[in-house]
Amino acid sequence: MIQPQQHTGSYYAATVNQVTDYAPLRGAQNADVCVIGAGFTGISTALHLAERGYRVHVVEANRIGWGASGRNGGQIIDGVSGEKKIAKRLGQDGERIMWEMAWAGHDIIRERVETYAIDCDLKWGYLDVAIKKRHIRAQIDDFEALEKYNFPHEYKLLSKEETVSLIGTEAYIGALMNMGNGHLHPLNLCIGEAMAAVSLGATVYEQSPVLRIEHGAKPCVITEQGSVTADFVVIAGNAYHFIEPKLRGKMFPVNSFIIATEPLTEDQVNSINPKDLAVCDPNFVLEYFRLSADKRLLFGGRCNYSGSDPEIIKRTLVPKMLRIYPRLAKIKIDYAWGGTIGVPINRVPQLGRISSNVFFSQGYSGHGVNVTHLAGQIMADTVAGTFERFDMFANIKPIVIPGAHTFRNQMVALGVLYYKIKDRL
Ligand SMILES: Cc1cc2nc3c(=O)[nH]c(=O)nc-3n(C[C@H](O)[C@H](O)[C@H](O)COP(=O)(O)OP(=O)(O)OC[C@H]3O[C@@H](n4cnc5c(N)ncnc54)[C@H](O)[C@@H]3O)c2cc1C
């Protein structure tokens, strides 16, 4: 039997607005749509569908936001990984279509936070920092795209000196500031959106691992104590998914970890991030950081580790943080946690179908906060019979990694190694 789990000891779990306790799935239930997984993909899909009047049931193995959605860096970053590959296939209008999709999740988040009054510390402002000259060249391309599409928010290319004066570290050689990206408390957003879906008639079952799907004219989702028979099923388990054999081996499971310091003093805040920007470097094996609402430094990065021991996470991440901010040497670390990201080899998010009425959406790499919100809208469109944007992704065949499911931990290590090598190139 699969044991459901509670939230990890993350800063987010410790500062959640509301601890959820939805009853497990019991007995035989019916719905228009059954969604498996209550992360951003599943909850966003459910909310889009509930807004359109569908009867949606969400079945979650653990708790709402238990997976990557409730543990991540909280950075709302534009872009759909692999967008150039998709744009190429779409022909003349491809670049513009992908540009619009790259920002669509932001609008959905902004609108939902307002409409449903979700208290999730949403802040706008982001710094894409450069480590190598080729990163600067990429930032110039991004800057030109912002110009070309008349980007409505403030943005600016920063010299090394300007970067140092903004975030108090010599670690970067320049940056692109973009006030259209931002950051938030992801677990509070996920739970807030789930509660909005419930207020519109959706049903959420927690602590209910799905054991299998019985496919057919009306697919049936089976758990230990119950089932949901629906017209459509949407699988939204991402890197934590473990049921559908056809989805195995389609992504590298890459672990990322975060530490949260004790709250910083006003002087410390002013010396490292007075404008409260989210900061992310461009490496595949990347580092990212920002301040929380109560002024802790949340510092994230990857390491070659597949466990969840906070002491090991601290030991790995503190030196990385101190390389950026040596002045924080005496700071106490209050929280350390990690989670798993699904990274497709070709980096293109995987939206597809297993049968005519069972769909899936997964594999957003490090851009999931934004893209999951777009994905949820696309999945809802698909259920409603509009396949246009779904097919843009579904027509790109994923590269399958043999043995990825059986050798999960080894794949985590291999995945990190693969991307470390790419960063050195
Ligand atoms: C440490 C970390 C930092 C990150 N930082 C950022 C960032 O700053 N910005 C950004 O854009 N992205 C970031 N990401 C990536 C982002 O969090 C993910 O892309 C996104 O949250 C994926 O959402 P999801 O709903 O698809 O998957 P998840 O949030 O992982 O949710 C999947 C859910 O499905 C459930 N599930 C799986 N199998 C079953 C089953 N059989 N039955 C029932 N339920 C099941 C799981 O329990 C889980 O709750 C980060 C990820 C991590 C781990």
What confidence tens digit (pLDDT) does each residue in 110-161 have?
999 999 999 999 999 999 999 999 999 999 999 999 999 999 999 999 999 9
- The least confident of 187-196, 358-367, 385-394 is 385-394
pLDDT of residue 188: 98
* CB-CB contact of 325 with 273 (8 Å): no
Q: Which atom of ligand 1 is nearest to the CA of 62?
A: 47
Residue 388 corresponds to which amino acid? Answer: E
Which of 22, 69, 108 most suits a substitution to test ligand 1, by most atoms within 8 Å of the C-beta?
A: 69
Flag whether pLDDT at 401 surpasses 80: no
pLDDT of residue 413: 52
pLDDT of residue 272: 97
Q: Which atom of ligand 1 is nearest to the CA of 41?
A: 25
CA 144 to ligand 1 center in whole angstroms: 32
Which of the pair, 249 or 326, is modelled with greater confidence? Answer: 326
* CB-CB contact of 97 with 90 (8 Å): yes
Helices (H), 34-78: 40-51
pLDDT tens by residue, 58-74 = 999 999 999 999 999 99
Please give the structure tokens belonging to residue 155.
Answer: 């943005």
CA 73 to ligand 1 center in whole angstroms: 11
Q: Phi/psi of residue 381, each to 5°?
A: -60, -40
Which of 10, 11, 341, 371 most suits a substitution to test ligand 1, by most atoms within 8 Å of the C-beta?
A: 341
Q: Which atom of ligand 1 is nearest to the CA of 223?
A: 42
pLDDT tens by residue, 73-87 = 999 999 877 777 778
- Cα dist. 146→116, 150, 151 in Å? 30, 6, 5
Q: Is residue 37 lining ligand 1, measured as CB closer than 6 Å?
A: yes
pLDDT of residue 408: 56
Contacts of 32 (CB under 8 A, 6+ apart): 49, 54, 55, 56, 230, 231, 232, 383
**For atom 13 of ligand 1, which residue has the closest CA?**
366
Q: Is residue 38 lining ligand 1, measured as CB closer than 6 Å?
A: yes
CA 246 to ligand 1 center in whole angstroms: 19
Please give the structure tokens belonging to residue 293.
Answer: 């609402």
- Spell 83-107 as b/e; 16+ CB within 10 A means b: beebbeeeeeebbebbbebbbbbbe
Q: How confident is the model at residue 420 (pLDDT cuts 50, 70, 90)?
A: low
Instruction: Tell me how long the chain is.
Output: 425
